[in-house]
Amino acid sequence: MADDREDMGDLVPKLARLTAVFNSGRFYARAAELSYTTLERPSLTILGVLEAAGEPLRIGQIASSMQVEAPHVTRHVQKLEKKQLVRRVVDADDRRARLVAITPAGAAIAARYRGVVMAWLSDAITSWSERDRKEILRLVTRLVDDVLEHLSQLEEKAPALDSPDPGSAAAAWAVTD
């Protein structure tokens, strides 16, 4: 168990760098430019979520998928609606909610952006074997699923951690920032 964690410890800095690259303004700016879009990053992300889902989603579902709070999604959906890249329909089953649906114009932009990133990623790993390509797709897919699953489990049973027990062993590590 301790050994497992040691092994995985090497993965943390790697993932940190990977996320830094994909999340960097530089990376986004370049991909957006090649996609001929002036949309802000969260707007493009929303289009991507809707495209991947293949069906209209609620604000809450989009927020959850993006790991952000709802108001953030609301604001960008409003901008997207003005540009007619999404449209909103009242959810017949629950009239508090309104479903966000991607329009053909929105889907075109999402597909173009994804195509740019895809081509770029593909170019980055041209030297990989067929087997390694299949493996990374399988393992990253599984990692995403398990990480999200684990995260939602933590959130269910977690809220008591706001004020840690000062007498606990963990608190004894505490170091002043």
Partner DNA sequence: TATTGTTATACTCTATAACTATA
Partner DNA sequence: TATAGTTATAGAGTATAACAATA
Residues 125-154 within binding reach of a copy of itself (CB under 8 A): 125-128, 132-137, 139-144, 146-151, 154
The Cα-based distances of 68 to 48, 72, 124, 135, 158 in angstroms read 15, 7, 29, 30, 18
Residue of the chain from 21, 70, 89, 90 that contacts a copy of itself (CB under 8 A): 21
In Å, the largest CA–CA distance within the chain is: 58
Q: Which helix (H) or strand (E) covers residue 99, if one does?
A: strand 98-102
Give, as ranges, the residues between 139 and 168 that touch DNA (CB under 7 A). Answer: none
> For residues 114 and 51, is the Cβ–Cβ distance under 8 A?
yes
Structure tokens at 92: 């017949």
Number of residues that bind DNA (CB under 7 A): 30
61 binds a copy of itself (CB under 8 A): no
Q: How far is the CB of 80 from a copy of itself (least distance, A)?
A: 9
98 binds, among DNA, a copy of itself, none (CB under 5 to 8 A by kind): DNA
**CB under 7 A: which stretch of 22-30, 124-132, 138-146, 153-161 binds DNA?**
22-30
Closest CB to DNA among residues 152, 168: 152
Exposure string (b/e) for 101-128, b if CB count within 10 Å is 16 or more?
Answer: ebbeebeebbeebbebbeeeeeeeeeee
Residue of the chain from 17, 78, 120, 164 that contacts DNA (CB under 7 A): 78
Give, as ranges, the residues between 87 and 106 that touch DNA (CB under 7 A). Answer: 88, 94-98
